[in-house]
């Protein structure tokens, strides 16, 4: 979609009340995704939006949603936002709380790991918008505490991540329970094949807003690659941490790996928190809030946090382990250099990571720059000592699978 990017929110046709809340919340000029997605969203059109992580997609759908739902009342919620993780759902709800105050549009959050009875009490307050993870929303639907019959607007946020986490069956059940006549807004940073299939099934004649080509990393993220060994990863990370005082988000492949690394960094004297799927909701929120406030300088996370962390000014993202899918590399490094900020993204690569690195660089369309002090990669060898073209597929690597084959996990 080609459009003139507005330099202020006033040019987007918003109400004075919402403009007041935008200014109070620090939203002074729209990002490209906001400038292009808000007008068709206000007009009631379906929107298919693709932009880099950290470019303001949340406000791009929250703003038109607030304006369209303001001034009408009903005993049932009229807007639904589906998100892949608890953290992202909670942050969306916080954005609605900031921007919907003057328009008297309110939301409640339905996520796994939280008190079901407390959520039922929130539903009794007659919220205008539900922000939910798919599994917990279905729990409420089965229990009869949520009815989607009056829904006017559906938002699928980070839909590709929801599919990658195995939520396709739940999403399909939710879509079947929604009115056919509705507005649908689908936003993501990448559009793999299975997401394109979902888009064809859920949106009608959408306005396509492609701010950047799919799978484009944030421009201000300075990428670097370090060749190392499994044994030397922690030592290399400690060296990087000693080089500056930036806040650092470190990604590991497994929950146990995150816990081990967190203990090692803590023993080395660093203020560190750990966040992954085995942590309770209260533990995850405490870790995230502590990282946001600066209580913790380092946050060690698995990919469940790749799209659930909205923290300003993360100076450095470190891929301690390369991600299981190449698209997750984009989302990980998108945690730094958000909006107009700059930042660094460093990846550790061992001799076992040939397949993952090749897939990531194919997705990027270019090689990741090697750090100046990085040693060249060690050649791979067969058991008989002969050189090999590359290592065998590592046991930790999980290629993208068809959506119907993915296991289901509730957030």
pLDDT mean values, one per 10 residues, the chain (411 residues): 61 93 92 94 94 82 96 84 91 94 96 93 95 96 94 92 85 94 89 77 89 61 91 96 92 94 96 89 87 93 70 87 86 68 86 93 90 66 41 39 40 48
CB contact set of 2 (below 8 Å; sequence gap of 6+) = none
Of 369, 388, 392, nearest to 378 by C-alpha is 388
Domain with CATH 3.40.50.300 in the chain: 9-210, 221-364
Q: CB neighbours of 173 closer than 8 A, spacing ≥ 6?
A: 138
Per-residue model confidence (pLDDT) at position 67? 96
Measured over all CA atoms, what is the biggest interatomic distance in the chain, rounded to whole angstroms? 75
User: What local confidence, expressed as pLDDT, does residue 217 receive?
Assistant: 58
Q: Give residue for tokens 């939520």.
A: 167
Residue 388 has a pLDDT of 39
pLDDT score, position 199:
83
pLDDT at res. 7: 64
The CATH topology of domain 9-210 is Rossmann fold (3.40.50)
What b-and-e string marks burial along 233-260, b requiring 16 or more CB atoms within 10 Å of the CB? bbebbeebbeeeebbbbbbbbebebbbe
- What does the pLDDT read at residue 387? 38
Which pLDDT value is given to residue 379?
55
- Asked if 312 and 341 touch (Cβ cutoff 8 Å), the reply is yes
CATH topology of domain 221-364: Rossmann fold (3.40.50)
Structure confidence at residue 285 (pLDDT) = 83
Q: Which helix (H) or strand (E) holds 254?
A: none
Look at residue 98 and give its three-state secondary structure: helix
Q: What are phi and psi of 44, to 5 degrees?
A: 85, 10
């Amino acid at each position: 979609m080609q459009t003139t990017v507005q330099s202020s929110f006033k040019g987007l046709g918003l109400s004075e009340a919402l403009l007041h809340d935008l200014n109070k919340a620090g939203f002074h000029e729209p990002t490209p995704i906001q400038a292009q997605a808000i007008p068709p969203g206000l007009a009631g059109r379906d929107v298919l939006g693709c932009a880099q992580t950290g470019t303001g997609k949340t406000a791009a759908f929250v703003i038109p949603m607030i304006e369209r739902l303001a001034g009408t009342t009903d005993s049932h919620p009229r807007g639904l936002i589906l998100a892949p993780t608890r953290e992202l759902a909670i942050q969306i709800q916080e954005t609605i709380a900031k921007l919907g105050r003057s328009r008297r549009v309110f939301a409640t959050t339905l996520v796994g790991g939280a008190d079901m009875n407390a959520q039922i009490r929130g539903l009794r307050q007659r919220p205008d918008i539900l922000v939910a993870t798919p599994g917990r929303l279905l729990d409420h639907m089965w229990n009869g505490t949520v009815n989607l019959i009056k829904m006017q607007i559906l938002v699928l946020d980070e839909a590709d991540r929801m599919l990658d986490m195995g939520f396709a069956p739940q999403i399909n059940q939710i879509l079947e329970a929604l009115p056919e006549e509705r507005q649908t807004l689908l936003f993501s940073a990448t559009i793999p094949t299975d997401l394109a299939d979902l888009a064809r099934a859920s949106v009608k004649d959408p306005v396509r807003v492609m701010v950047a080509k799919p799978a484009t990393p944030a421009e201000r993220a300075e990428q670097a690659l370090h060749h190392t060994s499994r044994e030397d990863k922690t030592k290399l990370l400690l060296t990087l941490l000693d080089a500056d005082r930036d806040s650092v988000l470190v990604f590991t492949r497994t929950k146990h790996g995150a816990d081990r690394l967190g203990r090692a960094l803590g023993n080395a004297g660093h203020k560190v928190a750990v966040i992954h799927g085995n942590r309770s909701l209260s533990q995850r929120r405490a870790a995230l809030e502590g990282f946001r406030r600066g209580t913790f300088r380092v946050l060690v996370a698995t990919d469940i946090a790749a799209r659930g962390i909205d923290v300003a000014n993360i100076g450095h993202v470190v891929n301690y382990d390369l991600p299981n899918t190449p698209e997750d590399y984009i989302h990980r490094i998108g945690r730094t250099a958000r909006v107009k900020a700059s930042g660094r993204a460093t990846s550790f690569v061992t001799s076992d990571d040939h397949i993952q690195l090749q897939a990531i660089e194919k997705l990027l369309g270019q090689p990741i720059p090697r750090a100046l002090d990085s040693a060249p990669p060690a050649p791979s060898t067969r058991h008989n000592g002969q050189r090999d073209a590359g290592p065998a597929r590592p046991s930790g690597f999980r290629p993208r699978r068809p959506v119907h084959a993915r296991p289901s996990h509730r957030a």
